Amino acid sequence: MRIDHAFLHEITIDILYGCLALLVFVLLERLVYYGLLALRARRINAAIRAHALAEAAAPTAFGADELSRSFSEYVAAQNAPGVTRGRVEDLSSALFIRVDAKVSARLWILDTIVTAAPLLGLLGTILGIMDTFNALSSGGVSDPAAVSRGIAAALIATAIGIGTALVGLVAHNLLHRQADVIIDGFKSALLAATRDGLPTAAE
Protein backbone atom coordinates (compact mmCIF):
# COMPACT_ATOMS: atom_id res chain seq x y z
CA MET A 1 0.00 0.00 0.00
CA ARG A 2 1.42 3.35 -1.07
CA ILE A 3 1.38 6.09 1.57
CA ASP A 4 0.28 9.48 0.35
CA HIS A 5 2.87 11.68 2.05
CA ALA A 6 1.47 14.87 0.52
CA PHE A 7 -1.94 14.18 2.04
CA LEU A 8 -0.44 13.43 5.46
CA HIS A 9 1.64 16.61 5.20
CA GLU A 10 -1.52 18.67 4.60
CA ILE A 11 -3.32 16.92 7.47
CA THR A 12 -0.44 17.74 9.80
CA ILE A 13 -0.58 21.42 8.85
CA ASP A 14 -4.37 21.43 9.37
CA ILE A 15 -3.87 19.95 12.84
CA LEU A 16 -1.33 22.67 13.63
CA TYR A 17 -3.79 25.35 12.55
CA GLY A 18 -6.40 23.68 14.75
CA CYS A 19 -3.98 23.76 17.70
CA LEU A 20 -3.35 27.44 17.08
CA ALA A 21 -7.08 28.18 17.01
CA LEU A 22 -7.62 26.19 20.21
CA LEU A 23 -4.74 28.04 21.84
CA VAL A 24 -6.24 31.43 21.00
CA PHE A 25 -9.67 30.32 22.27
CA VAL A 26 -8.30 29.10 25.61
CA LEU A 27 -6.22 32.26 25.99
CA LEU A 28 -9.19 34.57 25.43
CA GLU A 29 -11.56 32.49 27.57
CA ARG A 30 -9.13 32.38 30.49
CA LEU A 31 -8.33 36.10 30.22
CA VAL A 32 -12.04 36.98 30.43
CA TYR A 33 -12.54 34.53 33.31
CA TYR A 34 -9.55 35.84 35.24
CA GLY A 35 -10.74 39.40 34.69
CA LEU A 36 -14.09 38.47 36.23
CA LEU A 37 -12.40 36.78 39.18
CA ALA A 38 -10.22 39.85 39.74
CA LEU A 39 -13.37 41.98 40.06
CA ARG A 40 -14.89 39.48 42.51
CA ALA A 41 -11.67 39.44 44.53
CA ARG A 42 -11.83 43.23 44.86
CA ARG A 43 -15.36 42.97 46.27
CA ILE A 44 -14.25 40.32 48.73
CA ASN A 45 -11.28 42.38 49.88
CA ALA A 46 -13.52 45.44 50.23
CA ALA A 47 -15.89 43.46 52.44
CA ILE A 48 -12.97 42.27 54.58
CA ARG A 49 -11.68 45.82 55.01
CA ALA A 50 -15.18 47.07 55.86
CA HIS A 51 -15.76 44.18 58.31
CA ALA A 52 -18.97 43.36 56.43
CA LEU A 53 -18.45 39.61 56.49
CA ALA A 54 -21.75 38.95 58.22
CA GLU A 55 -23.44 39.66 54.89
CA ALA A 56 -21.26 37.09 53.11
CA ALA A 57 -23.11 34.11 54.52
CA ALA A 58 -25.40 34.01 51.49
CA PRO A 59 -24.05 31.72 48.74
CA THR A 60 -24.31 34.49 46.12
CA ALA A 61 -23.26 37.40 48.30
CA PHE A 62 -20.44 38.39 45.95
CA GLY A 63 -21.34 36.50 42.78
CA ALA A 64 -22.03 33.10 41.30
CA ASP A 65 -18.43 32.21 40.43
CA GLU A 66 -16.41 29.59 42.31
CA LEU A 67 -14.29 32.16 44.12
CA SER A 68 -17.30 34.01 45.55
CA ARG A 69 -19.22 30.86 46.43
CA SER A 70 -16.24 29.35 48.21
CA PHE A 71 -15.56 32.50 50.21
CA SER A 72 -19.22 32.83 51.20
CA GLU A 73 -19.24 29.17 52.24
CA TYR A 74 -16.15 29.74 54.39
CA VAL A 75 -17.67 32.74 56.17
CA ALA A 76 -20.99 30.96 56.66
CA ALA A 77 -19.25 27.90 58.13
CA GLN A 78 -17.58 30.05 60.80
CA ASN A 79 -20.97 31.42 61.83
CA ALA A 80 -22.44 27.93 62.23
CA PRO A 81 -23.08 26.87 65.82
CA GLY A 82 -20.55 24.51 67.36
CA VAL A 83 -17.93 24.94 64.67
CA THR A 84 -14.34 24.28 65.75
CA ARG A 85 -11.06 25.72 64.54
CA GLY A 86 -10.02 22.32 63.17
CA ARG A 87 -13.17 22.13 61.06
CA VAL A 88 -12.59 25.64 59.73
CA GLU A 89 -8.99 24.82 58.82
CA ASP A 90 -10.06 21.64 57.02
CA LEU A 91 -12.71 23.57 55.13
CA SER A 92 -10.22 26.27 54.10
CA SER A 93 -7.88 23.62 52.70
CA ALA A 94 -10.70 21.96 50.78
CA LEU A 95 -11.91 25.28 49.39
CA PHE A 96 -8.38 26.25 48.38
CA ILE A 97 -7.98 22.99 46.43
CA ARG A 98 -11.37 23.46 44.78
CA VAL A 99 -10.67 27.02 43.72
CA ASP A 100 -7.18 26.09 42.54
CA ALA A 101 -8.61 23.35 40.30
CA LYS A 102 -11.23 25.70 38.86
CA VAL A 103 -8.85 28.58 38.23
CA SER A 104 -6.17 26.36 36.68
CA ALA A 105 -8.63 24.49 34.46
CA ARG A 106 -7.70 24.21 30.77
CA LEU A 107 -4.13 25.41 31.30
CA TRP A 108 -3.03 21.84 30.59
CA ILE A 109 -4.26 22.35 27.02
CA LEU A 110 -1.70 25.10 26.48
CA ASP A 111 1.03 22.97 28.02
CA THR A 112 0.15 20.11 25.68
CA ILE A 113 0.12 22.36 22.61
CA VAL A 114 3.49 23.87 23.54
CA THR A 115 4.97 20.37 23.74
CA ALA A 116 3.23 18.84 20.73
CA ALA A 117 3.31 21.67 18.17
CA PRO A 118 7.06 21.53 17.36
CA LEU A 119 6.87 17.74 17.05
CA LEU A 120 3.88 17.98 14.71
CA GLY A 121 5.73 20.61 12.69
CA LEU A 122 8.77 18.36 12.41
CA LEU A 123 6.57 15.44 11.37
CA GLY A 124 4.91 17.57 8.70
CA THR A 125 8.30 18.66 7.36
CA ILE A 126 9.55 15.08 7.19
CA LEU A 127 6.42 13.99 5.32
CA GLY A 128 6.75 16.91 2.91
CA ILE A 129 10.41 16.17 2.19
CA MET A 130 9.62 12.47 1.70
CA ASP A 131 6.95 13.42 -0.83
CA THR A 132 9.41 15.67 -2.68
CA PHE A 133 12.09 12.98 -2.81
CA ASN A 134 9.57 10.37 -3.95
CA ALA A 135 8.56 12.64 -6.81
CA LEU A 136 12.23 13.23 -7.64
CA SER A 137 13.13 9.52 -7.60
CA SER A 138 10.19 8.59 -9.80
CA GLY A 139 11.43 10.98 -12.46
CA GLY A 140 8.47 13.26 -12.20
CA VAL A 141 10.56 16.26 -11.15
CA SER A 142 13.53 17.27 -13.27
CA ASP A 143 13.67 20.94 -12.34
CA PRO A 144 15.92 21.62 -9.31
CA ALA A 145 13.86 24.74 -8.58
CA ALA A 146 10.79 22.57 -8.18
CA VAL A 147 12.65 20.43 -5.63
CA SER A 148 13.64 23.55 -3.73
CA ARG A 149 10.05 24.76 -3.73
CA GLY A 150 8.90 21.37 -2.43
CA ILE A 151 11.40 21.43 0.43
CA ALA A 152 10.51 25.04 1.23
CA ALA A 153 6.83 24.07 1.37
CA ALA A 154 7.70 21.16 3.64
CA LEU A 155 9.52 23.47 6.03
CA ILE A 156 6.36 25.55 6.47
CA ALA A 157 5.09 22.90 8.88
CA THR A 158 8.11 23.36 11.13
CA ALA A 159 7.69 27.14 11.06
CA ILE A 160 4.00 26.87 12.01
CA GLY A 161 4.80 24.36 14.77
CA ILE A 162 7.53 26.49 16.33
CA GLY A 163 5.43 29.66 16.01
CA THR A 164 2.47 27.95 17.68
CA ALA A 165 4.69 26.68 20.47
CA LEU A 166 6.13 30.15 21.10
CA VAL A 167 2.69 31.75 21.26
CA GLY A 168 1.51 28.94 23.52
CA LEU A 169 4.50 29.32 25.82
CA VAL A 170 3.89 33.05 26.28
CA ALA A 171 0.16 32.47 26.80
CA HIS A 172 0.76 29.65 29.29
CA ASN A 173 3.22 31.68 31.36
CA LEU A 174 0.91 34.71 31.34
CA LEU A 175 -2.15 32.74 32.40
CA HIS A 176 -0.24 30.69 34.94
CA ARG A 177 1.04 33.87 36.56
CA GLN A 178 -2.47 35.36 36.73
CA ALA A 179 -3.85 32.11 38.14
CA ASP A 180 -1.19 32.13 40.87
CA VAL A 181 -2.07 35.72 41.79
CA ILE A 182 -5.77 34.89 42.05
CA ILE A 183 -5.19 31.72 44.09
CA ASP A 184 -2.76 33.44 46.44
CA GLY A 185 -5.23 36.30 46.87
CA PHE A 186 -7.98 33.82 47.72
CA LYS A 187 -5.77 32.18 50.32
CA SER A 188 -5.00 35.57 51.85
CA ALA A 189 -8.70 36.41 51.92
CA LEU A 190 -9.46 33.17 53.78
CA LEU A 191 -6.79 33.95 56.36
CA ALA A 192 -8.03 37.51 56.77
CA ALA A 193 -11.64 36.36 57.18
CA THR A 194 -10.86 33.75 59.84
CA ARG A 195 -12.54 34.63 63.10
CA ASP A 196 -10.55 34.86 66.28
CA GLY A 197 -11.55 32.83 69.30
CA LEU A 198 -12.88 29.77 67.52
CA PRO A 199 -12.93 26.81 69.94
CA THR A 200 -10.69 23.82 69.38
CA ALA A 201 -12.04 20.29 69.39
CA ALA A 202 -10.80 19.80 72.96
CA GLU A 203 -12.82 22.76 74.17
Note the helical H segments in the chain: 5-49, 66-79, 85-103, 107-137, 144-193
Number of domains in the chain: 1
- Residue 166 identity (one-letter amino acid): L
Q: How many CB atoms lie within 10 A of CB 56?
A: 22
200 domain-assigned: no
2 domain-assigned: no
Query: Do residues 134 and 5 make contact, with C-beta atoms less than 8 angstroms apart?
Result: yes
121 domain-assigned: yes
Per the structure, the complete domain to which residue 45 belongs is given by 10-193
Q: What is the pLDDT of residues 36-91, one digit of tens each?
A: 999 988 888 887 877 656 554 454 555 678 888 888 888 888 877 878 888 888 88
Q: What is the pLDDT of residues 166-194, one digit of tens each?
A: 999 999 999 999 999 999 999 988 888 88
Contacts of 79 (CB under 8 A, 6+ apart): 54, 57
Closest alpha carbon to 188 in 71, 64, 63? 71
Q: What is the pLDDT of residues 21-32, one digit of tens each?
A: 999 999 999 999
Handedness of CA 74, 79, 82, 86 (dihedral sign): positive
Q: What is the pTM of this model?
A: 0.81
